[in-house]
């Protein structure tokens, strides 16, 4: 029997809908919200309003591109959290309405679990792309989270390390902001870093126990470093932008990779994956490949369009929940914090 799942994602500033049939991606529509760029960060109230405007046309486009009618959808999966509450509410309310109207099961999805399961989306243009084998370790790095996750099965995951303050993506974005780069700064730092010398400047790395991360110290020291240099040389940032980006990027990557290598050794796991928005970073992808060769890992990176927020990853997670009949009730409420999920 064919199983068709509609996925909905609205946790931050992307409204997305995707259709997956038996694990194969039929469509993945993403409406990004340009409205936040002029503020240098996501404004929650504006995000909720834009989701409200986008959700119906985005779902309609996803169904049409997939060639699927609402009646052919077997189950609807929606991000329950973590994320911005008002934004989540739009997706969750829509999904409940759809579930009632079509009399289909509803599956609630943890956004972070979704990022990891993006590896199991089969794309028609690359159907034989290898998928991680259980158990594997996943370095999940996004705008809101930096975690090392032990993945035992599709729906059996354990967070073994987490950031105690800022996420890696936040470090990229906030440091970019102090350099005067537009939001989100991560992709721009990645681009500029390619022309810079990663050894030009040295930034302190945190000493945090276990497999946990910390990025707020790096962000602060980067800010003070710039302030001191700009005081002496007003166009310091302009003159050294590429070197600053390259040095900062390599520091973030070293911090991320050191803990990942430690975790792989301790858990004796050689299946290693990246996930989340920052997994698009070219330096991080190269560092993973290098470590893979050195330590004999099989490494996995998601396709670029499935690294940032998207509904395909929500639909695939919903698909595994559907198979296990893990359905949500209509009283399910969105949860802003991961701890409340």
Whole-angstrom distance, CA of residue 35 vs CA of residue 41:
10
Residue closest to 112 by CA, chosen among 59, 151, 76, 164: 151
> Which pair of tokens denotes residue 332?
């399910």
**Counting contacts by CB under 6 A, is residue 7 touching ligand KG4?**
no
Q: Using CB under 6 A, count the residues that bind ligand KG4.
A: 19
Smallest gap from Cβ 307 to ligand KG4, in A, equals 7
Whole-angstrom distance, CA of residue 178 vs CA of residue 61:
38
Residue 298 near residue 271 (C-beta atoms within 8 A): yes
Choose the binding region for ligand KG4 from 120-128, 137-145, 313-321, 333-341 (rule: CB under 6 A): 137-145
**Counting contacts by CB under 6 A, is residue 276 touching ligand KG4?**
yes
Q: Which residue, 105 or 143, is less far from ligand KG4 as judged by CB?
A: 143
142 is in an annotated binding site: yes
Taking CB under 6 A as the criterion, the residue among 9, 108, 166, 190 binding ligand KG4 is 190
309 is in an annotated binding site: yes
Give the count of alpha carbons within 13 A of 125, CB side only.
2
Choose the binding region for ligand KG4 from 60-68, 139-147, 259-267, 322-330 (rule: CB under 6 A): 139-147
Taking CB under 6 A as the criterion, the residue among 16, 33, 142, 163 binding ligand KG4 is 142
Whole-angstrom distance, CA of residue 256 vs CA of residue 160:
14
**Counting contacts by CB under 6 A, is residue 281 touching ligand KG4?**
yes
Whole-angstrom distance, CA of residue 22 vs CA of residue 152:
21
**Counting contacts by CB under 6 A, is residue 311 touching ligand KG4?**
no
Encode burial over 109-131: b for 16+ CB neighbours within 10 A, e otherwise.
bbbbbbbbbbbbbbeeeeeeeee
Taking CB under 6 A as the criterion, the residue among 94, 136, 154, 172 binding ligand KG4 is 172
281 is in an annotated binding site: yes
Choose the binding region for ligand KG4 from 25-33, 44-52, 278-286, 322-330 (rule: CB under 6 A): 278-286
Smallest gap from Cβ 23 to ligand KG4, in A, equals 22
In degrees and rounded to multiples of 5, residue 136 shows phi and psi of -135, 165
Which class for 164: exposed (0-12), middle (13-18), buried (19 or more C-beta within 10 A)?
A: middle
Rg (CA), the chain: 20
209 is in an annotated binding site: no
Choose the binding region for ligand KG4 from 116-124, 235-243, 260-268, 271-279 (rule: CB under 6 A): 271-279
Binding-site sequence positions: 111, 115, 140-144, 173, 186, 190, 281, 309
User: By the criterion CB under 6 A, which residues form the site for ligand KG4?
Assistant: 12, 142-144, 169, 172-173, 184-187, 190, 276-278, 280-281, 308-309
């Amino acid at each position: 029997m064919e199983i068709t799942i509609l996925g909905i994602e609205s946790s931050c500033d992307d409204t997305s809908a995707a259709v997956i049939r038996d694990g194969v991606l039929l469509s993945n529509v993403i409406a990004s919200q340009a409205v936040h760029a002029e503020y240098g960060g996501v404004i929650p109230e504006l995000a909720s309003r834009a989701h409200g405007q986008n959700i119906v046309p985005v779902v309609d486009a996803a169904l049409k591109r997939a060639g699927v009618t609402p009646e052919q959808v077997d189950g609807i999966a929606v991000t329950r959290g973590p994320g911005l509450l008002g934004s989540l509410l739009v997706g969750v309310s829509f999904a409940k309405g759809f579930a009632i109207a079509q009399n289909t099961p509803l599956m609630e999805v943890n956004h972070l679990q979704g990022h990891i399961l993006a590896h199991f989306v089969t794309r028609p243009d690359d159907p034989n792309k290898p998928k991680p084998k259980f158990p594997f370790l996943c370095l999940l790095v996004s705008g809101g989270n930096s975690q090392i996750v032990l993945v035992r099965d599709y729906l059996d995951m354990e967070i073994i390390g987490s950031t105690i303050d800022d996420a890696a993506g936040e470090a990229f974005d906030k440091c970019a902001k102090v350099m005067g780069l537009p939001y989100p700064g991560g992709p721009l730092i990645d681009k500029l870093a390619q022309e810079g010398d990663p050894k030009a400047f040295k930034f302190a790395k945190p000493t945090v126990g276990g497999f946990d991360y910390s990025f707020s110290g790096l962000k602060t020291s980067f800010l003070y470093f710039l302030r001191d240099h700009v005081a002496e040389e007003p166009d310091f940032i302009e003159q050294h932008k590429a070197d600053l980006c390259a040095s900062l990027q390599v520091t973030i990557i070293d911090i991320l990779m050191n803990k990942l290598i430690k975790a792989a050794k301790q858990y004796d796991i050689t299946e290693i994956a990246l996930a989340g928005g920052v997994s698009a970073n070219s330096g991080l992808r190269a560092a993973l490949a290098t470590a893979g060769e050195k330590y004999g890992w099989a490494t996995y990176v998601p396709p670029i369009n499935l690294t940032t927020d998207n509904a395909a990853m929500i639909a695939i997670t919903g698909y595994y929940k559907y198979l296990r009949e893990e359905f949500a009730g209509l009283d399910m409420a969105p949860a802003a914090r991961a701890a409340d999920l």
